[in-house]
């Protein structure tokens, strides 16, 4: 990691970390305090039909009421107390005040035994702010800042992954009010789950099947196919960005490292630097589409913490739920009830449109 | 089946069926014609990471442009040609003009072989209109009409299930523009898939696991638990309506037949009659919630056509994506990226609220 890191505690006891290209300009008066923050804990309930855990978190409804006029990710200035005590920062990570997952792991998550099955929703939820500036979007951040974001996510992945009971660290970004972001300040989130989430488990199973067939790494095979095809959006020395063959969303882009590696922590400095450039460039392509900037989700797909690390292959999935023309893609009964996506966009054409967007560099 | 059935062809050659409590009042001048309708065919593309088929159907974008001022489900009157030639009808079913799935089955759907894998999107999509009246909602239909709807769905399930290559018949309802319904006239849809859809396959796997553990029918076990618990919404002689223990949505209701049976076609007349009553009553509870009538989806979960019929157990899942207060539940990266639902509603409280809604009978 080239970024510096310092840690602190919020007045209520939650942890906060600063990552930066430059030394942190935190106000030393905001030093560690003796807060005793105890979040309302969610409940995990086992859905026996889908064999999945559902997080029941009624306390999270208070989020909306808790959001005042002040942006919680802007630096604290004078008496305007936000979530972040520092007067200026590059990247800040802190514990979510209304976490879906929190506290130590106590339960047995094996899906057996009599119904109904319940457990405390152990784990941890963090928020990562990408800048102390309120009005900059992730697409416009300089590559150096995106390197710091990536390094912070790699650090969080390693640190949360080492906590007892954590099975998966999921880093993601919901960008735009239309996709549920309650705060417009550029930020992402990190969820540490006490189990391997179902969608990740599906990919793990597929990767296992490929290995069992003697076909090697499934993700490497997919990348070989895609790199030679007509859906490539951008190509670097270490990474390839493409619209996947079976894209579900109006615009969907996957960004794969050429080298087979499990997670963000395993990237070399050269791979991180190019990832930051391509990540920004892909976001600017999305922002530059007709009707843009479009809301999007960015998902960092990493290996589970302990199991199946060798069959997994880090990649980034980015998609928007709307086409340039028309409203959002609605998930209806076909998608939500049967689980079968109907895409109304031709993936090859989507790739063509994305390639055609002019991307200037970020604010260097 | 107590409903009468007659069939016809639309001018472009698509099939249409009328089901009715009373004899059908179709205009005999709208007899079979020599149309040669050939839909644009969708493509199935295999997503190797999720091991799922995705339907790629760019032609469906033309739907919006094709919807004129005329409601396509109202009866044709004079020169106002709608999708339905009859001057009056009880229930009508016809082939969707912009089908996601259509035509004969030709491919091998086994998920093996080199990438990328593609197949013609075989199958069939039908629309079922519940009434020739434009302004009546499903919640307000008399129980006798809902019996006819149920009998029509049972008939479609049997008929489509007998088509070569069809593996699953999925009946569902998207109600409300907010959940993607492009037409407000009360209606449902029937999709005949050439494979068992992923969400159904998950339930099938769970049911197989239960049987393998010697625990018997998983759905029977769930129903025993729920019927004895605090989340029952309504109870009949043959059916139980309850909020499931691990509900994902703000209001979610499952309706199970007490008897172990695979699909709608297996219901006795008494079971059908009570189902119609409870279905209507549950919809009226949803409509009567604060902020209602709420948009909803209704999913008829039936056994696959050929496999695993004995482990499956018919039931109806109904949910709305919004709570009485506040906007819709948004699916964010946690749900769409990791597959882990976070529910902000307490299932026991949701059941209490649903029980408290006064339901008058439908328009008998």
Domain end among B195, B229, B249:
B195
> B216 and B115, same structural domain?
no
Q: Do B256 and B113 belong together in one domain? A: no
Q: Is there a domain that residue B100 lies in?
A: yes
Pair B223, B229: CB distance under 8 Å? no
Whole-Å CA distances, B337 to A203, A299, B182, B222: 12, 6, 27, 28
For residue B199, the chain A residues in CB contact (below 8 A) are 50, 337-339
pLDDT score at B289: 92
Sheet holding B124-129, edge to edge: B4-9, B15-20, B91-95, B124-129, B187-193, B168-175, B296-301, B315-320, B251-257, B239-242, B232-235
Look up the CATH number of the domain holding residue B229.
3.30.428.10
Name the residue of chain A whose CA is nearest to B51's CA.
A206
Q: Do A53 and B331 touch (CB under 8 A)?
A: no
Could you tell me if B63 and B125 lie in one domain? Answer: yes
User: Which positions of A are annotated as active-site residues?
Assistant: 187
Is B157 domain-assigned?
Answer: yes
Q: What's residue A195's pLDDT?
A: 95
Residue B362 lies in a domain: no
Count of structural domains within chain B: 2
Quote the pLDDT of residue A324. Answer: 65
Note the pLDDT of residue B115: 84
Q: Give B 65-94 residues with CB within 8 A of chain A.
A: none
Residues B152 and B136 in one domain: yes
Residues of A in contact with B337 (CB under 8 A): 170, 172, 199, 297, 299, 317
pLDDT score at B147: 97
The shortest C-alpha distance from A30 to chain B (Å) reads 33
Half-sphere exposure of A265 (CA within 13 A, CB side): 15
Single out the residue in B140, B164, B195 at which a domain terminates: B195
Question: What's the average model confidence in pLDDT over A189-215?
Answer: 96
pLDDT of residue B325: 62
pLDDT at B106: 73
Closest-CA residue of chain B to A197: B338
Please indicate, yes or no, whether residues B189 and B209 belong to a single structural domain of this protein: no
Kindly report, residue by residue over B207-227, the tens digit of the pLDDT: 999 999 998 999 999 999 999
B52 touches A: beta carbon within 8 Å:
yes
Q: Using an 8 Å Cβ cutoff, are B44 and B52 in contact?
A: no
Q: What is the pLDDT of residues A75-134, one digit of tens each?
A: 988 888 889 998 889 999 999 999 999 998 876 666 566 788 999 899 999 999 999 999
Residue among B84, B90, B116, B127 at smallest CA distance from B5 = B90
Which pLDDT belongs to residue B110? 59
Closest to B157 in 3D by CA, of B42, B84, B51, B265: B265
> Which residues of B are marked as active site?
187
With CB atoms and an 8 Å threshold, state whether B344 touches A61.
Answer: yes
Interface test with B, best of A246, A329, A332, A350 (most B CBs within 10 A): A246
**Per-residue pLDDT averaged across B231-251, rounded?**
97
Same structural domain for residues B36 and B178?
yes
Residue B34, class by beta-carbon neighbours within 10 Å (0-12 exposed, 13-18 middle, 19+ buried)?
Answer: exposed
Q: Kindly report, residue by residue over B112-155, the tens digit of the pLDDT.
A: 667 889 998 999 999 999 999 999 999 999 999 999 999 999 99
Q: Is residue B176 part of a domain?
A: yes
Query: Residue by residue, what is the 3-state secondary structure of chain B?
Result: CCCEEEEEECCCCCEEEEEECCCCCCCCCCCCCCCCCCCCCCEEEEECCCCEEEEECHHHHHHHHHCCCCCCCCECECCECCCECCCCCCEEEEECCCCCCCECCCCCCCCCCCCCCEEECCEEEEEEECCCCCCCCHHHCCHHHHHHHHHHHHHHHHHHHCCCCCCEEEEEEEECHHHCCCCCCCEEEEEEECCCCHHHHHHHHHHHHHHHCCCCCHHHHHHHHHHCCCCEEEECCCEEEECCCCCCCCEEEEEEECCCCCCHHHCCHHHHHHHHHHHHHHHHHHHCCCCCCCCEEEEEECCCCCCCCCCCCCEEEEEECECCCCCECCCCHHHHHHCCCEECCCHHHHHHHHHHCCCCCCCC
DSSP string, A21-48: SS-----TTS--------PPPPEEEEET
Which distant-in-sequence residues (6+ apart) come within 8 Å of A56 by Cβ? A42, A43, A44, A45, A121, B246, B343, B346, B347
| Residue A66: pLDDT band with limits 50, 70, 90 | low
d(CA A255, CA A267): 14
Residue B361 lies inside a defined structural domain of this protein:
no
pLDDT tens digits along A217-227: 999 999 999 99
From chain A, the residues in CB contact with B173 under 8 A are 333
pLDDT digits (tens, 9 = 90+) for A313-359: 999 999 999 886 667 888 999 999 999 999 999 999 999 999 999 88
Domain stop point among A97, A127, A142: A142
**Is A60 in the B-facing interface, judged by CB distances under 8 Å?**
yes
What is the rounded distance in angstroms from the CA atom of residue B192 to the CA atom of residue A33?
62
What confidence score (pLDDT) does residue A115 get? 84
For residue A363, what are the contacts with CB-CB under 8 A and spacing of at least 6?
Answer: A136, A140, A141, A142
Separation between Cα atoms, residue B136 and residue A123, nearest integer Å: 48
**pLDDT at site B262:** 97
pLDDT at A34 over 60: no
**Max mean pLDDT range (A37-46, B97-106, B142-151):** B142-151
CB B340 within 8 A of CB A193: yes
One-character DSSP codes across A202-232: HHHHHHHHHHHTT---HHHHHHHHHHTSS-E
What distances in angstroms separate CA B352 from CA B71, B250, B357, one per listed residue? 38, 13, 9
Best probe of the A interface among B44, B46, B56, B297, by most A CBs < 10 A, is B56
Asked whether residue B49 falls in the same domain as residue B20, the answer is: yes
Q: Is the pLDDT of residue B197 over 70?
A: yes
User: Is the CB of residue A186 less than 8 Å from the CB of residue A89?
Assistant: no
In a domain, B364, yes or no: no
Q: Calculate ∠ Cα B210-B212-B214, nearest 5°.
A: 75
Per-residue pLDDT, B99: 95
Residues 6+ apart with CB under 8 A from A289: A251, A324, A353, A354, A357
Instruction: Determine, yes or no, domain membership for A205.
Output: yes
| A193 in a structural domain | no
pLDDT score of B324: 65
Does position B34 have pLDDT exceeding 60, yes or no? no
Pair (B348, B254) in one structural domain: yes
Checking ipTM against 0.95, whether it exceeds it is no
Mark whether B57 and B185 lie in a shared domain: yes
Task: Specify whether B248 is located in the same domain as B122.
Answer: no
Polymer length of chain B: 364
Tell me, what's the pLDDT at B80?
A: 81
Q: What is the mean pLDDT of chain A?
A: 90
| Confidence label for B32 from pLDDT (cuts 50, 70 and 90) | very low
Query: Chain B partners of A60 at a C-beta cutoff of 8 Å?
Result: 342, 344
CB contact at 8 A, A54 and A116: no
Residue A108 shares a structural domain with residue A214:
no
Q: Are residues A204 and A340 in the same domain?
A: yes
Q: Is A158 helix (H, G, I), strand (E, B) or coil?
A: helix
- Whether A203 shows a pLDDT value over 70: the answer reads yes
H-helix or E-strand spanning residue A281: helix A269-287
Nearest alpha-carbon partner for B182 in B53, B86, B96:
B96
What would the pLDDT profile of B288-342 be if each residue is shown by its tens digit? 998 888 999 999 999 999 999 999 999 999 999 988 666 788 899 999 999 999 9
Q: Which of A182, A336, A345, A346 to mutate to test the interface with B (most CBs of B within 10 A)?
A: A336
Residue B166 belongs to domain spanning: 4-195
Identify the residue with better confidence: A285 or B29: A285
| Mean pLDDT, residues B180-185 taken together | 82
Cβ(A197)–Cβ(B338) under 8 Å? yes
A-chain residues near B322 (CB < 8 A): none
Nearest to A157 by CA among A257, A318, A2, A306: A306
């Amino acid at each position: 990691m080239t970024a510096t890191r310092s840690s602190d505690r919020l007045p209520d006891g939650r942890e906060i970390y600063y990552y930066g290209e430059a030394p942190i300009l935190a106000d030393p008066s905001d030093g560690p305090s003796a807060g005793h923050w105890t979040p309302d804990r969610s409940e995990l309930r086992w859905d026996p039909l889908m064999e999945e855990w559902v997080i029941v978190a009624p306390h999270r409804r208070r989020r909306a009421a808790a959001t005042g006029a002040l942006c919680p990710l802007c630096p604290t200035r004078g008496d305007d107390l936000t979530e972040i005590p520092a007067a200026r920062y590059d990247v800040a990570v802190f514990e979510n005040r209304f976490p879906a997952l929190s506290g130590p792991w106590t339960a047995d998550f094996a899906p057996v035994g009599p119904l109904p099955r319940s457990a405390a929703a152990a784990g941890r939820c963090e928020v990562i702010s990408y800048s102390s500036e309120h009005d900059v979007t992730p697409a416009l951040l300089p590559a150096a800042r995106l390197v710091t974001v990536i390094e912070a996510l790699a650090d969080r992945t390693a640190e949360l992954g080492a906590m007892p009971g954590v099975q998966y660290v999921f880093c993601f970004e919901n960008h735009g009010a239309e996709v549920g972001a309650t705060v417009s300040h550029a930020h992402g989130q990190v969820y540490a789950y006490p189990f391997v989430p179902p969608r990740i488990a599906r990919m793990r199973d597929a990767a296992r099947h490929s290995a069992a067939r003697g076909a090697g790494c499934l993700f490497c095979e997919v990348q070989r196919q895609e790199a030679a095809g007509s859906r490539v959006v951008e190509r670097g020395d270490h990474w390839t960005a493409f619209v996947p063959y079976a894209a579900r969303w109006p615009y969907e882009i996957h960004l794969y490292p050429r080298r087979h590696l499990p997670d963000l922590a395993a990237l070399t400095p050269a791979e991180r630097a190019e990832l930051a450039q391509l990540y920004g460039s892909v976001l600017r392509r999305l922002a530059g589409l007709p009707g843009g900037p479009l809301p999007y989700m960015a998902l960092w797909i990493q290996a589970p913490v302990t199991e199946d690390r060798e069959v997994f292959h880090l990649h980034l999935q980015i998609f928007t739920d709307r086409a340039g023309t028309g409203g959002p893609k609605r998930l209806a009964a076909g998608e939500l009830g049967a689980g079968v996506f109907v895409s109304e966009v031709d993936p090859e054409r989507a790739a063509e449109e994305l390639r055609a967007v002019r991307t200037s560099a970020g604010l260097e």
